[in-house]
Amino acid sequence: MRSISIFGVRLDDLTSDELHARLLELLDRSEPSLVVTPNPEFLLAAQSNPAFRDVLNSSTLSIPDGVALRFAAAANNGTHNLHRHPGVDVLPELAIMCRNRGVILVLLGATNFILAQTKMHFATLAEGISIVTVNPGFINAESPQLAQHIIEDLCLVGPCVVAVALGQGSGRSQGKQESIAAQIVAKVPNARIVIGVGGAFDALSGSVRRAPLAFRRFGFEWAWRLAIEPWRFQRIFRATILFPSIVAYGTIQAGTFGRALVNVASELRNHFFSRLKNV
C-alpha cells in the first residue's frame, strides 16, 4: 500500500478498486480494524493534539478526504494524484458489502431522526441489509467515553461494521469521534470495521443537501458548504486558506518551495483537465 505522511499523519493512497478490495479484506478479518478519513482540519488538529495524531496513525486504513490533501501531497511529498474518498461515498459502498456478506451495519451518532432517515436510505440502497442504530447521547469532549451499556449492547450484535458519525468538532472536541471509534475497536470484538464518517449521516439522510456533482467533481464542496452554511466560515477558512498556507510555509522552511510550486501547478493542471475531459 502506498502511504505518505503530512503533518505527521499517515495517509493511504488507494485507487477506488484498491480501496474496495482492502475494505472487503478487512471485512473478512476476524478482528476489528479502525478506518479513519482525515481531511485538512484533522491534520491541523493533529499538529497540536498528539493524542489525536496517535489515534489516526493507529488506524488500519487512513483514507484521505478533501481535495486540499491532493495538493498538499504534491507540495509536501511530491506525490501526484493522491486519491481521495469522502466518507459519505465510502459508507454506501460499505453498506452494500455488509448486505452481500451478511454483516450488520451499525449506525452510531447523530439524532434519532437522522438515524431513522439514514437507515431508510440504506434499506433502499442495499435491500435486505440488517441495520442497528445507536444514539449515544451526549459525549463529553474532554474525556470521550462510550457508555458501558452501549458497549455491552454492541458486543451482543453479531459481526458488524460500525459507522461512527459524531462530526469532526472544533477546538477541544476535535478527535472525539476517532477516540470513540478506537474504543469500539478495543472493546467490541465482533466489530470488523469501525469507521469515523463525520457528518455523512446528515448528507445521506437528506438533512443537509450535498454539493451538486460539478462541485464535487472539481473539489469545491467547501464553496457549496459555505454557501448553505455560512456560519462554517471559520472552519472552511482553516481548511482552504490556513492549511495550504502552513503547507507552503513548511516548504519554504525546507527550502523546497520552488519544487513544491512546480508540483502543485502540474497537479492543478491534471486535476482540472482530467475533470473537464469527463464533463
Binding footprint of ligand UDP on the chain (CB under 6 A) = 109-111, 114, 139, 165-169, 198-199, 201-202
For residue 229, the SS3 value is coil
For residue 195, what are the β-bridge partners? 35, 163
Quick one: 169 or 250, whose CB is closer to ligand UDP? 169
Quick one: 183 or 256, whose CB is closer to ligand UDP? 183
Locate cell 502543485: which residue?
264
Distance in angstroms (rounded) separating the CA atoms of residues 85 and 204: 15
Which residues, other chains included, contact 67 with Cβ-Cβ below 8 Å and sequence gap of 6+? 84, 218, 219, 221, 271
Quick one: 66 or 167, whose CB is closer to ligand UDP? 167
Name the minimum Å distance from CB 72 to ligand UDP.
20
| Torsion region of 3: left, alpha or beta (phi above 0 gives left; psi -120 to 50 gives alpha) | beta
Distance in angstroms (rounded) separating the CA atoms of residues 203 and 92: 12
Quick one: 62 or 79, whose CB is closer to ligand UDP? 62
Name the minimum Å distance from CB 68 to ligand UDP.
16
For residue 106, what are the β-bridge partners? 132, 162
Residue 227 to residues 108, 211, 215, Cα–Cα distance (Å): 28, 10, 12
Quick one: 139 or 151, whose CB is closer to ligand UDP? 139
Grid coordinates representing 237 are 477558512
Name the minimum Å distance from CB 116 to ligand UDP.
12
Locate cell 477558512: which residue?
237
Quick one: 163 or 191, whose CB is closer to ligand UDP? 163
Return the residue nearest ligand UDP (CB atom). Answer: 167
Tell me which residue of 102, 67, 96 sits closest to 83, measured CA to CA: 67
**Residues making up the chain, counted from first to last:** 279
Name the minimum Å distance from CB 47 to ligand UDP.
18
Contact 144, 180 (CB under 8 A): yes
Contact 72, 78 (CB under 8 A): no
Name the minimum Å distance from CB 93 to ligand UDP.
20
Name the minimum Å distance from CB 225 to ligand UDP.
9
Name the minimum Å distance from CB 115 to ligand UDP.
9
Quick one: 201 or 243, whose CB is closer to ligand UDP? 201
